[in-house]
């Protein structure tokens, strides 16, 4: 098994816990209190966005860019629960011990019960609603600034719109990660508020000879580029490929992850996709160890893609 030295990139449970703990106390938690806010801009045109953010790979929050979306104006947990009452979902899929299947209607009922009981917050993460509740899609129209998404050319129109909803309860957390497949993150906040902490693609957390994570070095390194910000309803985040991000739900929240592939990242994208599929096919036992928390999520992603591309998984060749 290859050992990834950068703890921020590892997906085994020990590394995930080390990084998550560092966000709660110690040098990294202290650095976060004075980390700069990410730039926020209002009224940017698509041309300005391309020139001033996408070309130079500069992250930004586009304030109120999606404020006119029907989902931003109308969605509540209650009305979604009525519309998607019987739709099957997997809750807490990012935490293998608590992942469970239920329906969307039941999930919203559980949120109420859970809030009263003081239990760990529930989070429906990376929900590929388009395969199972496509009627929601018109409430989240295409972003003009995401037109560059090369996945359309690569996979066809249907599979390119591989969007994910993130629906969870106050206090919920998505641990620090980089997005797979070299895609840019575009995240639209629909309901509630989320706090984001981000680090640049070159951020590196190594363990010393004593096995302890060198957090002071991470905080001091110029490549870390630690920043924070809050995303509010109607805001759209642009985070170029490779940026690390960690999210905390300030209150009950619904957000849309709308990923976009820059054609400059095409080779890396294909390499990662093919590499992942080969690993799943040829080396699943090792993958279960190295990706203990996310193995089922990786399978769910591959199934959603196959479904959108109309691929029959029972056949090797058409």
Among 179, 204, 217, 293, binds ligand AKG (CB under 6 A): 179
Give CA–CA dist 230/211, Å, rounded. 34
Range in contact with ligand AKG (rule: CB under 6 A) among 25-33, 74-82, 179-187, 261-269: 179-187
301 part of the interface to ligand AKG, by CB under 6 A? no
Residues with Cβ within 8 Å of residue 30, at least 6 apart in sequence: none
Beta bridge partners of 82: none
Binder to ligand AKG among 59, 240, 242, 257 (CB under 6 A)? 257
Judged by CB, which is closer to ligand AKG: 35, or 247? 247
The residues facing 168 across adjacent strands are 123, 253
Residues 108-137 that bind ligand AKG (CB under 6 A): none
- State the number of binding residues for ligand AKG (CB under 6 A): 10
The distance of closest approach from Cβ of residue 59 to ligand AKG in the complex, given in angstroms and rounded to an integer, is: 12
Residues sharing a CB contact under 8 Å with residue 172, sequence separation 6 or more, in sequence order: 121, 122, 123, 248, 249, 253
- Residues 11, 130, 174, 182: which binds ligand AKG (CB under 6 A)? 174
Per CB under 6 A, contacts with ligand AKG among 183-222 are 185, 187, 194
**CB-nearer residue toward ligand AKG: 16 or 247:** 247
Q: Output the smallest distance, CB 293 to ligand AKG, in A.
A: 14
- The residue (of 93 and 174) whose beta carbon lies closer to ligand AKG is 174
Look at phi and psi of residue 225 and say left if phi exceeds 0, alpha if psi is from -120 to 50, else beta.
left
The residue from 247, 261, 287, 298 that contacts ligand AKG (CB under 6 A) is 247
CB nearer ligand AKG, residue 31 or residue 188: 188
In the bound complex, what is the minimum distance in angstroms from residue 125's beta carbon to ligand AKG? 6
Determine if 255 is a binding residue for ligand AKG (CB under 6 A).
yes
Specify the residue, 240 or 257, whose C-beta has the smaller distance to ligand AKG.
Answer: 257
Calpha distance 226→199 (Å, rounded): 5
Q: Is 245 in the site for ligand AKG (CB under 6 A)?
A: yes
From the list 155, 143, 107, the residue with the least C-alpha distance to 127 is 107
Q: Considering only CA atoms, which of 174, 191, 198, 173 is closest in space to residue 232?
A: 191
Residue of 143, 148, 144 whose CA lies nearest to 264: 148
Sign (positive/negative) of CA torsion 251, 252, 258, 264? positive
What are the Cα distances from residue 179, in Å, to 28, 67, 141?
Answer: 21, 25, 22
For residues 145-165, b (16+ Cβ closer than 10 Å) or e, as one string? bbeebbbbeebeeebbbbbbb
Cβ-based nearer residue to ligand AKG, 207 or 250: 250
| Residue number with CB closer to ligand AKG (185 or 218) | 185
Binding site for ligand AKG (CB under 6 A): 166, 174, 179, 185, 187, 194, 245, 247, 255, 257
């Amino acid at each position: 098994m290859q050992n990834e030295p950068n703890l921020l990139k590892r997906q085994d449970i020990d590394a995930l816990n080390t990084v998550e703990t560092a966000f709660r106390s110690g040098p990294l938690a202290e650095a976060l209190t004075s980390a700069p806010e990410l730039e926020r801009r209002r009224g940017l045109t698509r041309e300005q966005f391309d020139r001033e953010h996408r070309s130079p790979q500069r992250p930004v929050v586009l304030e109120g860019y999606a404020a006119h979306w029907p989902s931003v104006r109308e969605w509540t947990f209650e009305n979604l629960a009525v519309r998607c009452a019987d739709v099957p979902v997997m809750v807490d899929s990012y935490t293998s011990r608590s992942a469970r299947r239920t329906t969307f209607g039941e999930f919203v009922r559980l949120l109420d019960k859970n809030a009263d009981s003081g239990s760990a917050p529930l989070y429906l993460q990376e929900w590929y609603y388009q395969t199972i509740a496509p009627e929601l899609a018109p409430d989240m129209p295409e972003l003009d600034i995401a037109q560059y998404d090369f996945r359309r050319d690569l996979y066809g129109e249907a599979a390119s719109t591989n969007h994910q909803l993130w629906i969870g309860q106050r206090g919920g957390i998505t641990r620090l990660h980089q997005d797979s497949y070299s895609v840019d993150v575009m995240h639209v906040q629909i309901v509630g508020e989320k706090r984001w902490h981000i680090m640049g693609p070159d951020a590196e957390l190594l363990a010393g000879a004593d096995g302890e994570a060198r957090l002071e070095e991470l905080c001091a390194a110029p490549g870390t580029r630690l920043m924070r910000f809050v995303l509010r309803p109607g805001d759209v985040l642009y985070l170029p490929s490779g940026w690390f991000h960690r999210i905390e739900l300030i209150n009950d929240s619904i957000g849309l992850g709308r990923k976009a592939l820059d054609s400059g990242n095409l080779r890396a994208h294909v390499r990662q996709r093919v590499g992942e599929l080969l690993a799943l096919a040829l080396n699943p036992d090792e993958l279960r160890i190295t990706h203990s928390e996310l193995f089922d999520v990786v399978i769910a992603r591959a199934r959603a893609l196959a479904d959108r591309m109309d691929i029959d998984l029972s056949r090797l060749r058409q």
